[in-house]
Amino acid sequence: MDGFPQSVLFCCDHNAVRSPMAEGLMKKFYGQRAYVQSAGVRNDMEVDGFSVAVCQELGIELARHRSRSFDEMQEWGDDLSQFDLIIALSPASQRMALELTRHFHLDIEYWPILDPTGLGESRDHKLSAYRQARDQIRDRMIGRFGAPTEDSTALA
């Protein structure tokens, strides 16, 4: 897919770490240019506190994010076929997205983003790992969609 999509779904394993960060970054960087959501293969965790903290450093609010799974999306009426682009941030979510959309014509991209959970012993080391994941998402996003369009130039 070339150009800027009208709707993007970010997905990862639990919709608690990487995909909420990606959703928040996309909304911050590109505002209303695209409809943006996120989902996980499973919804068995709340949004991760370290993800909230490292996004807060960039002025992105994740504390109110409510995790949801692909199944819950469909139960709540969000049809995957409405998205122009699905960006999978983990191998499991890529497999699930491919399986659930095999009858639709939409693009699925895989961005191999570090899973920071379980990395680091101290709070500082954990925050460093989460910042690394956040920055990988940011760099892939800017590389894919171009420079941020909102008042977010200080973040790049």
Let me know the angle formed at the C-alpha of 57 by 51 and 61, rounded to the nearest 5 degrees.
60
Whether the Cβ atoms of residue 96 and residue 71 lie closer than 8 Å to each other:
no
* pLDDT in the model for residue 152: 47
- Domains located in the chain, CATH noted: 7-146 (3.40.50.2300)
> What does pTM read for this prediction?
0.90
- d(Cα 63, Cα 134) in Å, to the nearest integer? 16
- d(Cα 129, Cα 121) in Å, to the nearest integer? 11
Residue 15: burial class (beta carbons within 10 Å; 0-12, 13-18, 19+): buried
- Sequential pLDDT tens for the chain (156 residues): 567 899 999 999 988 899 999 999 999 999 989 999 999 998 777 888 999 999 999 999 998 888 888 888 888 877 788 899 999 999 999 999 999 888 887 889 999 999 999 888 999 999 999 999 999 999 999 999 999 985 544 444
- d(Cα 70, Cα 110) in Å, to the nearest integer? 17
Tokens read off for 115: 């899973």
